[in-house]
Amino acid sequence: MAWLTKTRVKYGLAAVGGFYAVAFAGYLVYAGVNRMQPHGPSELELHPERQAEISAQQRADEMKTRLNLTDDQTKQIADILKSNPAPDPSAGGDPREHWKGLQEKIAPVLTPDQQAQALQMRGQFGGRGGPGGRLSPERIDEIKTKMTPEQRERFEQALQRHQQRRQQGGQQGGRGFPPGNAPGRPQ
């Protein structure tokens, strides 16, 4: 028992305590990550017939979080979004005009501070989702989690078409040129 000294016991207990502290921290990270991932089918997959209502409510909830809306404001915005669903892209309407109209209908529901914050958020992202109008990969993943499998497939196809158009635009001129060097612009 000569090897069992007071110092060795202290170090042993400290090592065991450290091990449990690291294990507990690892468990907290695991529990947090596991909790954030969706479990089971989304509400849209369960009720595709209520797609407009569900997506309007989700968008209103996002606005509630970002703009610190009251429950009454959130309900009013959800009603506006439900009564004005996005136009079908195959119909040929301009979705930008649709969103401008929605913004005009939503503006009276917001306080002046909330309107300024919404305007700042739109300006920060170029009005279209990110620098140069691009959605971040995180935002794309977030959007995909709210889609049905059929919507995800159509979304992926649309992203591929968009990427092809961007590549063709860079090869044909105009968009692919550095600012000030596009054809037809005075130098």
Q: What is the torsional sign of CA 118, 119, 125, 129?
A: positive
Q: Are 123 and 114 in contact (CB under 8 A)?
A: no
pTM for the full model?
Answer: 0.47
Q: What is the torsional sign of CA 149, 39, 73, 103?
A: negative
Going from N- to C-terminal start, the domains of the chain cover: 49-85+96-109, 140-168
Going through the chain in order, the beta strands assigned E by DSSP cover none
For the chain (length 187 residues), average pLDDT per consecutive 10? 84 94 91 71 74 85 89 92 76 75 88 85 54 65 80 85 77 47 46
Q: Which pLDDT value is given to residue 171?
A: 52
> CA-CA distance, 73 to 80, in Å (whole number)?
11
Q: Which pLDDT value is given to residue 70?
A: 92
